[in-house]
Each structure stands twice: as C-alpha cells, then as structure tokens.
Amino acid sequence: MDGREQPLLIAGGGIGGLATALGLAQKGFRSILLEKAASLGEIGAGIQLGPNAFHAFDYLGVGQAARAMAVYIDQLRLMDALTADEITHVDLGANFRARFGNPYAVVHRGDLHGVFLRACRASELIELRVSSEVVGYDQDGSSVTAHLANGVRVTGSLLIGADGLWSNIRKQVTSDGPPRVSGHTTYRSVIPTEEMPEDLRWNAATLWAGPKCHIVHYPLSGWKVFNLVVTYHNDAPEPVAGQAVPEAEVLRGFAHVHERAQSIIRHGRDWRLWVLCDRDPNPRWVDGRVALLGDAAHPMLQYFAQGACQAMEDAVCLSHMLSHYPDDHAVALEHYRAQRFGRTARVQLLSRAIGEHIYHPAGEHARLRNAIMRAKSSEDYYRDLAWLYGGTGLAS
Ligand SMILES: Cc1cc2nc3c(=O)[nH]c(=O)nc-3n(C[C@H](O)[C@H](O)[C@H](O)COP(=O)(O)OP(=O)(O)OC[C@H]3O[C@@H](n4cnc5c(N)ncnc54)[C@H](O)[C@@H]3O)c2cc1C
C-alpha cells in the first residue's frame, strides 16, 4: 500500500484517535492527527478499564506507563440503592487476573489521555495538529483529502474518522442521521478522597442500582480523589454535553433511594450533566479510503464501561490489518470492519440491556435481578464475561 509514503489522516484526538496514531506508528506508518479543539485533552472524570484495555496498552507500546497510573480495585460491587444492602460483588483479585491475564483498573481520563499524548509526541511518525476540524472529505483512486473548517485541505492515503459521537466523517460515510437520545441523564463529579464518607471509601467500582437511577463511585489518581457518576432515567429529550448544574437538580432524581445512597451525592461538587446517546449497530464503517473508529463507529451507553476500551481495540485491529495487507487498503479496511463490527455491536446492544435489567429495574424486576445475581459466584461472572474481557482487537 502507499501508506508508508503518504501519511494516514486521523480525525479526532480523543483516546481512539491517539491510540490509532500510536498503533500505526508501531507498524511504521506515518500519520497526521487533526483535532478540532484548540488543545488536546480529556474531561476531568474517571474511566474503568477491563483487562482487554491492558492488552491494547501493551500492543500500543504504553503498557508500563498506563499500568503506573492506574488504581487496581479489588471488586465490582453491586449495591441495592433502596435498601443499602450489597447484592453481590465480583472479585477482581488473583483469580480474575489469572483468568484474563490482565487486571481490572480505574484511571483518571486526563492521566490516560496524557500517557497517549506523551507517547504520540515522542514519535517522529506522528504529527498532531489542533484547531483542525474536519468537515468532510473527497477521494480518488490514490488518495483522500480532508476538508477542514478553516479552509485548509490535507491529503493522505487513508482517513480514519475517530471524531466521536457527533462525527462529521460518519455523516458522509453512512448518512444515517443523528445519534439516538437515550433519555438517561448522567451527572459527573470528582471529589477529594477526604470528602468521601469514610465508610464508603471502598477499593471497588461500586454501583448503587435503584429504580430508574444509579450511582457509581471509585477511587482515582493514587486515591487522591473519588469519581462520582450518577444517572437518572428522566426521558431527557435533547442531547446535552458537559453543562454545569446545581446539586439540587442532581438530587431530584434520587429522592426515592436510601439515605446512605443520597448522602454520596451531597458530597459531590461542580456537577456537570450529559444526556447519553448511542446508536443501533450499523455495519457501514468504510467508504473507499475512509474508515470509522471508536464512538464515531459504535457509540454505546456506558453501562459496560467499554467505550474507550473498544476504541483502543479498534486501534489495535486497524493497525494490525494495515500492516498485514500493506498493498491493499480495501482488503485491510474490510478485514478491520468485519472483525470489529460483531464484537462492538454486541457491546452496544448489551450495554442497553444491562442498563434496563441491572442498573435501573424496579419492583419485581429488581427483586428478580437481586435473586439471580446473588446466586452467582465470581467464577460464574468470569465465565459470563470471558467473551469481553478475554477478547482483544486481534482475532482469537
Ligand atoms: C458517563 C460516561 C462514562 C463512561 N465510562 C467509560 C468507562 O468506564 N470505560 C470505557 O472504556 N468507556 C467509558 N465511556 C465511553 C468513553 O468515554 C468513550 O467511548 C470514548 O471516550 C470514545 O473515544 P473516541 O476517541 O472514540 O471519541 P471522543 O472521546 O469523543 O473523542 C473525539 C475527539 O474528536 C474531536 N473531534 C470531534 N469532531 C471532530 C472533527 N470533525 N474533526 C476533528 N476532531 C474532531 C473531539 O474534540 C475529540 O477530541 C464512558 C462514557 C460516558 C459518557
């Protein structure tokens, strides 16, 4: 392929775009990454990383740096938000690591993005350009040209659309309209550890599940802070991203849950709101020399905590396919799409399903959830999750 002479173009400098630039550089491909924002960064919240993320870190050459900034939690803990009783937990200790070959961890998004960014800056094969919004592209038999909002044109061998939920590249690849508004409103806060109630400073990713609402918390950044994410299924009609909101608005959806669960919210500060969106799986990810990746290809609700993990798996798979079929971009992109579509579609659809059946059920539905989940051992959960945590961006 002509990819080693002409640079590849990547639209978007989020986790997916940076991971792609790194994966391509590992295989000797030059890339130009075009980011809309005036600087490269991530929002100040946390992110959970399944073992599959660690496989991707190693493949992308940042395994050591990523491991150094993670907090290794002991459990995924499920609490009943109405009674404040534990429903169940999944042990993430030695047996989990032995089973999946890697740990489960939580990190600050800024720290993770920083690891990727430093590695990209250290590579002679990666050029990072900010204030470069890609608004469209055209292509011919030998190259593709990205059109930037500022009038600049950038030409490369391929264009990877890693430009997130509202992807401009996707608009041209699929024309399948805007994302689906889920009606679930998420509020995020990060608080210093000393402000987290002492009896809740668990080394766990804890989920308090209640009727049409839930709360998630876990420690971050060497236990300096706790990440709080609370979600309320209030049928919000419009997409919103990052809007500041007062505590009273956050509490409004939680008047019906146990006082202990409500008290977590009272410790939050500087709350910001997102109305969550996703899409139905759509197999059209490729248009000639253009391919989608990460949220641009398969936006999902966060209930499996896998959106960024899947974006990194995409980067691994794409890099692998381009190096494996260096003389035929069409074959490489089709193999990438074919290998990634089924797995990411499964995560998209199951994320919705676990939102409905684990995070938000009420009444008899919730009692059934508790009974089913209490009856399972950690080994049972490992078996259920093996397809996800035991998988990678590469064919098994
Ligand atoms: C509440 C919440 C919790 C989550 N928790 C987890 C979790 O625990 N674990 C997990 O793995 N995932 C989680 N996710 C999902 C994860 O955040 C996303 O899936 C992931 O960040 C997607 O990365 P991306 O690079 O594809 O897109 P983005 O992070 O959206 O990055 C896109 C980048 O492209 C830029 N851009 C946009 N348009 C253009 C354009 N036209 N031209 C150039 N640049 C452009 C943007 O500025 C941005 O930098 C969560 C999501 C939410 C909402």
- Model confidence at 44, pLDDT cuts 50, 70, 90, reads confident
User: How many angstroms separate the CA atoms of 362 and 369, rounded?
Assistant: 10
Ligand 1 atom closest to 310 (CA) = 11
Look over the chain and give the mean of its residue pLDDT values, rounded to a whole number. Answer: 95
- Cβ–Cβ under 8 Å, residues 90 and 75: yes
Q: Which stretches of the chain are DSSP H helices?
A: 15-26, 51-59, 63-68, 94-100, 109-121, 168-174, 247-252, 259-266, 307-324, 329-354, 363-374, 378-389
- For the record, the structure tokens of 347 come out as 């995560």
Is the pLDDT at 3 greater than 50? The verdict is no
Neighbours of 242 (CB within 10 A): 9
Quick one: which of 158, 100, 163 has its CA closest to 135?
163
For residues 18-27, give the mean pLDDT. 98
The residue contributing the CA closest to ligand 1 atom 38 is 163
- Fill in the amino acid letter for 201: R
Any idea what DSSP says for residue 93?
S
Q: Is the pLDDT of residue 396 over 70?
A: no
Note whether 218 and 206 are within 8 A (CB): yes
CA 352 to chain centre: 15
pLDDT in tens, 294-342: 999 999 999 999 999 999 999 999 999 999 999 999 999 999 999 999 9
Q: What is the pLDDT of residues 213-244, one digit of tens each?
A: 999 999 998 999 999 999 999 999 999 999 99
To test ligand 1's pocket by mutation, which of 295, 303, 306, 359 has the most ligand atoms within 8 angstroms of CB?
Answer: 295
Other CB atoms within 10 Å distance of the CB of residue 94:
8
Nearest Cα neighbor of 389 from 336, 352, 343 is: 343
Ligand 1 mutation pick, 10, 34, 35, max ligand atoms within 8 A of CB:
35
Half-sphere exposure in the Cβ direction for 290 (13 Å, CA): 26
Which residue type sits at 27? K
Mean pLDDT of all residues in 17-29? 97
Average pLDDT estimate for 261-284:
95
84/78 Cα distance (integer angstroms) = 10
Q: Output the CA–CA distances (angstroms, integers) from residue 182 to 275, 326, 363, in the order listed.
A: 7, 40, 22
The reply to whether ligand 1 has any atom less than 6 angstroms from the CB of 112 is no
Q: 212, 84 in Cβ contact below 8 A? A: no
Quote the pLDDT of residue 4: 53
The answer to whether the beta carbons of residues 319 and 27 sit under 8 Å apart is yes
State the sign of the Cα–Cα–Cα–Cα dihedral 300, 306, 312, 317. Answer: negative
Q: What is the pLDDT of residue 141?
A: 87
> Which of the four pLDDT bands, split at 50, 70 and 90, describes residue 2?
very low
In ligand 1, which atom is closest to the CA atom of 37? 47
pTM of the model: 0.97
The 10s digit of each residue's pLDDT in 168-217 is: 999 999 989 999 999 999 999 999 999 999 999 999 999 999 999 999 99
Q: Which atom of ligand 1 is nearest to the CA of 48?
A: 8
Q: pLDDT value at position 314?
A: 98
Tell me if 104 sits within 8 A of 50, measured CB to CB: yes
Q: What is the mean pLDDT of residues 36-49?
A: 91
